[in-house]
Structure 1
């Protein structure tokens, strides 16, 4: 979208460090609610199935409905930010997520819980890309890498804090606290956003872009169809299932129609796909598609390895994965300095190679492999995971203007979600077809090798991302804090 459609205020001098810090704190406190919620609820699905007297397939919609709503909300963020302003949109999304959390805690049956989770998902779907957009729009280009590392802290903290909080709830509290945990943290984040985010709503009289209704009708169901279809590959039949083929084909056709429509509409489209003609956005999107596939696929397989082959409960398996989260968290503090010194391309490739190498032991592991050894390997894998995303996500904003950043956030986020869905679907099918009653570990061996192949592909894609993390002609950021 153009600056006029964005209703952008004139740029101002660089924000003061303390203002940037306040912005980061406000966004992180609010944004971590969505990350924690995903981890906690996933671990609590078995309890929800029992407490609400429903089937496993039905309770899975507590997660599936949330993820579909999250994906559907992403394309609307750019338009909504241009029309209402980043601060008001953030407050709305976080408020919607908190209200949805409170309603989930009050759910009287599984149908009500699924409906309220969808409401939560819309809030979370707006928050994730908007958090990155607000951060990148309001910092100096020279500090974008370190800011991105800071803003990605919730993604690293979720796998560490999630199992702990889930353990507390599942052992000593009611299932309703799986959702009530979000409320005080979300309220605090809402208050901080009110205090520290500048009111950036468009000035009166400034033209505001209209919603691309046709684009919305095409893109929203396209993403929902693709993600829903791919999520069904976990069951017997894999990609040959009717409930996989029909929604995936329909989603692909709608997506193709949206691409045709968006290219005709140019900057008036729901998402400005012309940005894919910019090297930084295009290469980052491809890399995120592949690294998202590898990451989601690995995160799908690892808990199953500990549960299915090693016999641990879902909660204990989550605790065994904490070293990976710890490695990713540590990498957040190192990534900025490493990228500043060696450049984003080198660090992204190195991170992907570390991820691939640290997955090999799981492709060779069996039922008696030392947990201490696997814990060390997971920590190393977490380091690679934490390092690889920062440079890829940062260089997406190279060579574009401030007004284009919202669309770039949507494109990269959609790429990561679709890659993750496809990667997970692929290894789920491999896991099912390659396993046998006599040798169940064979399915995991084959599936982990596919994860390694996807990670290697991501490393190759990272070879073509820009070698610098700064804009050659940076636009001065707008003020971020009051």
Structure 2
């Protein structure tokens, strides 16, 4: 969507400089993203405890994660419209309120059904945090230093997977399941207070508000379409069969609605999501690279915990601790690579990261097929993969969006968020089916890791179409 915003400063005060505005924006968005990432990893660890506390089967409790994902998918498409209508600052503060309120309600849940409903409220807030936060950072960052800003914004990806499982296990063991949600309250209130004080006041002008008409037909296609598509993929992955009616019908319905939205978005004047961004060669190459890479990487994240617990007989906490070194490597490599992309050719840096990640995933496939392999060898292979992942994710997002006009940033960040969510869900479903078909034994894990390595390798093709050097 087109449109401009103006940043207002109180009368009589000298507005802060660009560097100060960027630091303040990053402080707020990092805290908000940290809360959302930690919540997802904490809840995943507590599934069994929630099942026992509510006396509900694990399949029912899994809906706490599914409801969050479906609500997230339904709300992401309205992010660009909301920013144009009420401003990014107000939209972000609304997301913080929804997420914090959802956390309080979830802590007060009295049965599995109420918990699932309140997790959906959390998902409505969580779905807006990433695209709106990314948009605010991209708007205020100097284009020459956008990589550094994105590196700082990616800190939650470093901390969340490392701290979340350990913190979640400790809260459940030392206190109760309520605290996996109550821990969000002080963080959410802090982020909200800082947002009120630090975020720049972006005021949409009259022309922007007038142009920001909600594309209701598009919304009725895309939001239900994404939710049905993700639901069908999740059900197919759980059952190991995409042809079952419970998986096939919602998948086909979601795909049809999404395809209808794509057709509409390319023909109407003011679509809900501006897919004409894909005419930009760099943005299209970045989106395709991220889709394939995210499919392989995030899809494979279910394999590590299953391998350690089922093949090696370890506890969930031990499996989480063995995954922590990979999370540290991902975050460290991301900090380095996201800064380097400001000075070096993306066409050299990002394909090198893809190759390194695929190598690490192939090493995991080899190690997983060896019964009784030393734990350090498996962890070391995962760390090699993590180094490549950190070199790809944020640098690709930075490269894809750096040269876009400021008024197209909301649509770009929304498209990237939808792209990542869909690709991760597809990857998880596909690899779940592969593992179910191959068998959850060493040979089955080897085959599944090999498929993940192949998906990572495929992302080399679009990565080689990224720009060879920065435009001056």
TM-score where L is the length of structure 1? 0.93
Match for 2:426 among 415, 422, 425?
422
CA 39–33 in structure 1, closer or farther in 2 if over 3 Å, else same:
same
State the shift of 1:167 in Å.
2.1
Q: Which whole-Å deviations, capped at 9, do the CAs of 1:397-432 have from their partners, x for residues lacking one?
A: 133211101111111111111111111111111111
State the shift of 1:464 in Å.
0.9
Q: Which whole-Å deviations, capped at 9, do the CAs of 1:345-390 have from their partners, x for residues lacking one?
A: 2111111111111112221223411112222222222221111112
Residue 475 of structure 1 is matched in structure 2 by none
Q: Which whole-Å deviations, capped at 9, do the CAs of 1:22-68 have from their partners, x for residues lacking one?
A: 21111101121110000000010010000011011110000000011
Query: Is 2:380 aligned against 1:376?
Result: yes
Please give the alpha-carbon distance, in whole angstroms, between the structure 2 residues aligned to 1:224 and 1:38: 18
Residue 479 of structure 1 is matched in structure 2 by none
Residue 307 of structure 1 is matched in structure 2 by 309
Note the 1:344-359 alignment, pairs <5 A: 344-359=346-361
SS at match of 2:180: helix
Residue 272 of structure 1 is matched in structure 2 by 274
State the shift of 1:11 in Å.
11
SS at match of 2:146: helix
CA 370–270 in structure 1, closer or farther in 2 if over 3 Å, else same:
same
SS at match of 1:201: strand
Please give the alpha-carbon distance, in whole angstroms, between the structure 1 residues aligned to 2:71 and 2:18: 36
Please give the alpha-carbon distance, in whole angstroms, between the structure 1 residues aligned to 2:76 and 2:447: 33
Match for 2:410 among 382, 401, 406?
406
Please give the alpha-carbon distance, in whole angstroms, between the structure 2 residues aligned to 1:432 and 1:205: 54
State the shift of 1:313 in Å.
2.1
SS at match of 1:240: coil
Please give the alpha-carbon distance, in whole angstroms, between the structure 1 residues aligned to 2:265 and 2:342: 36
Q: Which whole-Å deviations, capped at 9, do the CAs of 1:68-112 have from their partners, x for residues lacking one?
A: 111111110000000001111111101110010011001011110
| Structure 2 unmatched ranges of 5 or more | 10-14
State the shift of 1:149 in Å.
1.1
The answer (yes or no) to whether the contact 1:101–1:180 under 8 Å persists in 2 is yes
Please give the alpha-carbon distance, in whole angstroms, between the structure 2 residues aligned to 1:332 and 1:142: 18
Residue 72 of structure 1 is matched in structure 2 by 74
Please give the alpha-carbon distance, in whole angstroms, between the structure 1 residues aligned to 2:238 and 2:230: 15
State the shift of 1:465 in Å.
1.8
Please give the alpha-carbon distance, in whole angstroms, between the structure 1 residues aligned to 2:338 and 2:47: 37
State the shift of 1:333 in Å.
2.5
Residue 5 of structure 2 is matched in structure 1 by 8
The answer (yes or no) to whether the contact 1:298–1:451 under 8 Å persists in 2 is yes
Residue 222 of structure 1 is matched in structure 2 by 225
Please give the alpha-carbon distance, in whole angstroms, between the structure 2 residues aligned to 1:237 and 1:379: 29
Match for 1:248 among 251, 257, 261?
251
Residue 259 of structure 1 is matched in structure 2 by 262
Query: Is 2:295 aligned against 1:298?
Result: no
Query: Is 2:285 aligned against 1:288?
Result: no
CA 10–25 in structure 1, closer or farther in 2 if over 3 Å, else same:
closer
CA 442–403 in structure 1, closer or farther in 2 if over 3 Å, else same:
same
State the shift of 1:204 in Å.
5.3
Residue 12 of structure 2 is matched in structure 1 by none
Note the 1:326-365 alignment, pairs <5 A: 326-365=328-367
Match for 1:143 among 118, 142, 145?
145
CA 217–312 in structure 1, closer or farther in 2 if over 3 Å, else same:
same
Please give the alpha-carbon distance, in whole angstroms, between the structure 2 residues aligned to 1:98 and 1:207: 28
Residue 24 of structure 1 is matched in structure 2 by 26
SS at match of 2:6: coil
The answer (yes or no) to whether the contact 2:75–2:128 under 8 Å persists in 1 is yes
The answer (yes or no) to whether the contact 1:345–1:391 under 8 Å persists in 2 is no
State the shift of 1:157 in Å.
1.0
Q: Which moved more, 1:194-203 or 1:459-468?
A: 459-468
Q: Which moved more, 1:269-278 or 1:309-318?
A: 309-318
The answer (yes or no) to whether the contact 2:354–2:388 under 8 Å persists in 1 is yes
Please give the alpha-carbon distance, in whole angstroms, between the structure 1 residues aligned to 2:331 and 2:249: 40
SS at match of 2:342: helix
Please give the alpha-carbon distance, in whole angstroms, between the structure 1 residues aligned to 2:339 and 2:414: 27
Residue 122 of structure 2 is matched in structure 1 by 120
Note the 1:313-328 alignment, pairs <5 A: 313-328=315-330
Note the 1:203-222 alignment, pairs <5 A: 203=205, 207-208=209-210, 209-222=212-225
Match for 1:167 among 169, 174, 186?
169
Please give the alpha-carbon distance, in whole angstroms, between the structure 2 residues aligned to 1:383 and 1:11: 41
Please give the alpha-carbon distance, in whole angstroms, between the structure 2 residues aligned to 1:74 and 1:307: 34
State the shift of 1:201 in Å.
2.5
The answer (yes or no) to whether the contact 2:169–2:317 under 8 Å persists in 1 is yes
TM-score where L is the length of structure 2? 0.95
| RMSD of equivalent CA atoms | 1.8
